[in-house]
Amino acid sequence: MALESTISSQYIYQGRILSLRLDTVQLSNGLTSQREIVEHGGAVVVAPIDGDGNVIMVRQYRKAVEKVLLELPAGGLNAGEDPQVAAARELKEETGYTVGTLRRLGGFYLAPGYSSEYIHLFLATDLTKGQAHPEEDEELEVISIPLSTIPGLLAAADIEDAKSIAGLLQVMALSRSDS
């Protein structure tokens, strides 16, 4: 597979959590094209499973889609932050749970057709319940859902957030291989 050579780059927007860049590229066949690239510093998503086999999730209104979504706890990486540290921080902030055991399950690109965002996936177990401290611009409802009901929620499209779907599928595959 041939790589695309970047001829030029122009920043259209630079914000707090993302930047938009317009690249002009040369294709392997000699033609040129433009690529709109969303630069993002990366994120974490956590699949917290309590001692009773429940997944701790959050309901959150998402303005971009004008809907309340059911999601795994997640958040952006601070500059230079270790993903494992970010995962523990986000879990505590959004749900109030402190993690005892945090296991990295891998990661994935959110939308590599236009975005550089890479999301690190973690499984959190040995949880201790506490008080959530979401950021001042977040309104979250913490929900506890039996892991056994997740396949039905996925089949019914009751979970529409891609990072949550990917994380839950990975956890379900892991639980099948561990049994």
> Between 135 and 81, whose confidence is greater?
81
Residues 75 and 60 in one domain: yes
Please state which of the ranges 10-14, 91-95, 171-175 shows the lowest mean pLDDT.
Answer: 171-175
Could you give the CA distance from residue 95 to residue 142 in angstroms, rounded to a whole number? Answer: 6
Statement to judge: residues 31 and 45 lie in one domain: no
**In the predicted model, is pLDDT for residue 178 greater than 80?**
no
- Output the average pLDDT for the chain: 94
Instruction: Give residue 23's pLDDT band: very low, low, confident or very high (50, 70, 90).
Output: very high
Residues labelled as active-site residues: 136
Cα–Cα dist 64/59, whole Å: 15
Residues 34 and 49 grouped into a single domain: no
- 45 and 18: one domain? no
Residues 71 and 132 in one domain: yes
Looking at residue 80, what is its pLDDT? Answer: 92
Residue 114 confidence (pLDDT) above 80? yes
Give residue 25's pLDDT. Answer: 96
pLDDT, residue 179, reads 59
Do 55 and 92 contact (CB within 8 A), yes or no?
no
Is residue 175 pLDDT above 90, yes or no? no
Q: Is 49 in the same domain as 34? A: no
pLDDT at residue 51 is higher than 70: yes
- Both 52 and 128 in one domain: the answer is yes
The mean per-residue pLDDT over the stretch 25-54 comes to 96
pLDDT for residue 9: 96
* 120 and 174 housed in the same domain: yes
Whether 32 and 105 share a structural domain: no
Q: Residue 131 — very low, low, confident or very high, per pLDDT cuts 50/70/90?
A: confident
pTM, two decimals, is 0.92
Q: Which helix (H) or strand (E) covers residue 93, if one does?
A: helix 83-95
- Asked if the model's pLDDT at residue 138 lies above 80, the reply is no
Domain CATH code at residue 125: 3.90.79.10
Shared domain check, 91 and 59 = yes
| pLDDT-based confidence at residue 135 (cuts at 50, 70, 90) | confident
Q: The domain containing residue 11 runs over which residues?
A: 5-39
58 and 96 co-located in one domain:
yes
Predicted pLDDT at 154: 96
* Residues 144 and 92 occupy one common structural domain: yes
Q: Report how many domains make up the chain.
A: 2
